[in-house]
Amino acid sequence: MSANHLLPHSNIEWTIEHHEARLVRSSADPQIRLQLAQLSLSHGLFHGGGEHALSKALAQAKKVLHDDRNSVEAMAIAAIALVRMERIDKAQPFLVMAQQRKTEHPLLSFACSAFDRSNGDLEGMLQHLERSIQLAPEAWESHATLGRMLFALSEAHSNPQMRERAQFHLLKAISLFPEITKVMSSVLLDLGILCLREEQFQEAEKCLSKLKEHPKLGLKSKRYLAEVAFQVGKYHNAIQRFRTYLNQKEALNRTISAQNRDRSSNAAIQAKIAMSWFKLGDLRRAKSECQRALQFDPNHLLARHTLGCILIEEGSYPEGLREFRENLHVHPEYIKSYRELVKLYKNAGDWDWLNKALLSEVSNYDRLPIGGVVDARVCTRERIQVIIEELKGLDADSASLILPVIAMTQDELLRFQLWEAACDIAEEVNAYSVKSALEQPDRNYSVSLGEDALSSAKHVPLSALMQGLNIQYTDIKAAALDRYPQAHSLEAHQRNEKSEVRVARSYQMHLLLACAFHNSDQVSELFKRWTSGQNDRNMEIATWVGWALRNHRDAIGRLRTITKDRQASPKQVQALALATNQQMSNRVALRVEDRAGKCRVCGKSHESVNHFIQGHNIQICDSCIVEAFTGVDIKPAHQSHSCSLCGNTQLEAAPLLMAGSNVVCNSCAQLSLGYNNRVFVARALTSVLPFK
């Protein structure tokens, strides 16, 4: 077995003939027989040898076992060959014998995974493939097989974590064996579809374009190339590709039964062609394609949704509403039709309908069941969010529709969602007047304007906040004349100027803190300028509080130093800094570059760890996450516990396991466990793919 292969792959047919000739000369050599069994198995599995090659591998493996009853590799070869020939009962004794030898071999784990897959044991299949990779990390066959299995499962269950893992293992297989596209072209197809699902459209097109002329996979690759064009908004290109696919598919499916079998998939494609024409503004062609799709499948969701959009665009509002309502009657989770329905009533100014819809969704929420194929609670939260999004950006009165319904539910998550939405609407409305006032800071600066800017910080553009900071001393002198009654002495005028300086500094402090809520490199540069050479101690404190909001590693220590000798409430300033730092740390974050502090579980510092997972003002290192979730002594958390990092419960991110005395949910763990894989995928998508 080569370092990069479980089985040989070079010059298979010639090498098989060469070994068969050697066996004629030396029939008693078990090593030659084992090599011939490996070659035949590789020929049968990966190089088109079929059942004949598998039978030859089985025969040679049995002869090896006749001479050496302890050859675990021969047992594994025999078991794989029998499983692939669908002789499951015959394969089991070979696996049992191999496991009795208590000798781990990557090919044996590979054989056990094939056996588990044939028996429908998907969990066992994945575990054995992962074990095969642990035993032979550079063998591409295990990576490719695991990647394809994870891809199939992610398609069936729409699991983003499985997609992430599948993409890693497929790219790993390509990096280990660049010729894999000639041996297993399906790997490239799966990778292209995964990139499409992950919205990596350029990489998806690269992978799928490579297979356009493939005799077996070419048609399917064209189908997904059309999907890529549709997703990126190249609608003319998408229409052409979809039609080419349909024409070639119809030419292949000449029997009535084959055409009937494909009616559903044809409806999906026709519906996307219709939506493409709708996006291009050709309503006549869009309606024609919709009717064709509905001929294939009268209840197709996208087709009926597209027809509803066309009817609304034509001004046939009752007919369009009927299409949306019928879609939602059959599939209440189809959020696209619900969004169009809400938009329609909002554009018509029917606030009574919006109010009743929101009230109905919220008041029924607590009575809905949890879980199921379609989770009614998740669906209802999505509907509520759609209504909230449409209410945003209107006026302050829209918040008055949200506040009364908060009392209609006891679910704290939903109550907070509604309260946050009402606050966002109020802040967004306030942000319009703030932005306008900040355009002329020399005339409008004031403490109240600074407070308004801070309260609406995330809705006020960063450029407006930075423009508002520009106050010159001449502006302060002018304000001291304009904003006060005429001074009758020099001392009174100087008092007015000092008062305006304090107002201006307070105003700028608020604006600096507001800038901290924007995630931009410009904010860091701004804070560096305001921190260096700062003579105003209050302004320096405000700047370091802003750094604390951005989770700067030295902010808390610096604030303690600045306020230690101050007479006026240093503890309150430190408490503010700690509170802002804790507010930011409540968001779960992966800390790779900035690894200040120590692990809550093991006490390791940044020199000894790869990264930290931080949340709720604690952080746990990657080693402790690995130990908690993949170690020998796994300790499940109690059902009533919640994640120490993010607050998730068993219902939201099972399983919850103990890392020392802390509870970590699966969601936070995967953020850490998948970090190296994500880094590899990001790099491999640009460098590992075997073509430009």
Tell me the pLDDT tens digit for each residue of 504-519: 888 888 888 888 888 8
3-state secondary structure of 232: coil
Residue 691 pLDDT > 80 = no
**C-alpha separations of 290 from 147, 266, 284 in Å:** 37, 12, 10
Q: Give the pLDDT score at 494.
A: 85
Q: How many whole angstroms separate alpha carbon 649 and alpha carbon 616?
A: 15
Q: How many whole angstroms separate alpha carbon 145 and alpha carbon 66?
A: 31
Q: Give the pLDDT score at 320.
A: 92
Q: Do residues 280 and 235 lie in contact, with contact meaning Cβ atoms separated by under 8 Å?
A: yes
Intra-chain end-to-end CA distance of the chain, in Å:
31
Q: How many whole angstroms separate alpha carbon 50 and alpha carbon 27?
A: 25
Q: Could you read off the pLDDT of 624-641 as tens digits, one per residue?
A: 999 998 888 889 998 888
Q: What is the band of 420 on the pLDDT scale with cuts at 50, 70, 90?
A: confident
Q: Give the pLDDT score at 655.
A: 87
Q: Do residues 41 and 72 lie in contact, with contact meaning Cβ atoms separated by under 8 Å?
A: no
Comparison of pLDDT for 437 and 551, the residue scoring more:
437
Q: How many CA atoms lie within 13 A of 684 on its CB side?
A: 20
Q: Give the pLDDT score at 227.
A: 95
Q: Across residues 186-208, what is the average pLDDT?
A: 93
Q: Could you read off the pLDDT of 24-71 as tens digits, one per residue?
A: 776 667 788 899 999 999 999 998 889 999 999 999 999 999 888 889
Per this entry, what is the length of the chain?
692
Helices (H), 535-656: 537-549, 555-563, 570-585, 622-630, 650-653
Beta-carbon contacts of residue 411 (< 8 Å; ≥ 6 apart): 365, 366
Q: Across residues 566-591, what is the average pLDDT?
A: 57
Listing DSSP states for 627-670 in one string gives: HHHHSSS--BPPTT---TTT---HHHH--EEEETTEEEEHHHHH
Residue 228 pLDDT > 80 = yes
Residue 279 pLDDT > 90 = yes
Q: Could you read off the pLDDT of 299-337 as tens digits, one per residue?
A: 899 999 999 999 999 999 999 999 999 999 989 889 999
Beta-carbon contacts of residue 258 (< 8 Å; ≥ 6 apart): 252
Q: Across residues 112-134, what is the average pLDDT?
A: 93
Burial 647-672 (b: 16+ CB within 10 A, else e): ebbbeebeebbbbbebbbbbbbbbbb
SS3 content of the chain, % helix, strand, coil (to 5): 70, 5, 25
Please report, rounded to a whole number, the percentage of residues in the chain having pLDDT higher than 90.
40
Give the DSSP H or E segment for 618.
Answer: strand 618-621
Q: Across residues 102-109, what is the average pLDDT?
A: 90
Residue-averaged pLDDT of the chain: 86
Residue 347 pLDDT > 90 = no
Q: Give the pLDDT score at 568.
A: 47
Residue 567 pLDDT > 60 = no
Q: How many whole angstroms separate alpha carbon 523 and alpha carbon 665?
A: 33
At 354, list the tokens.
Answer: 């919006």
Q: Across residues 423-436, what is the average pLDDT?
A: 86
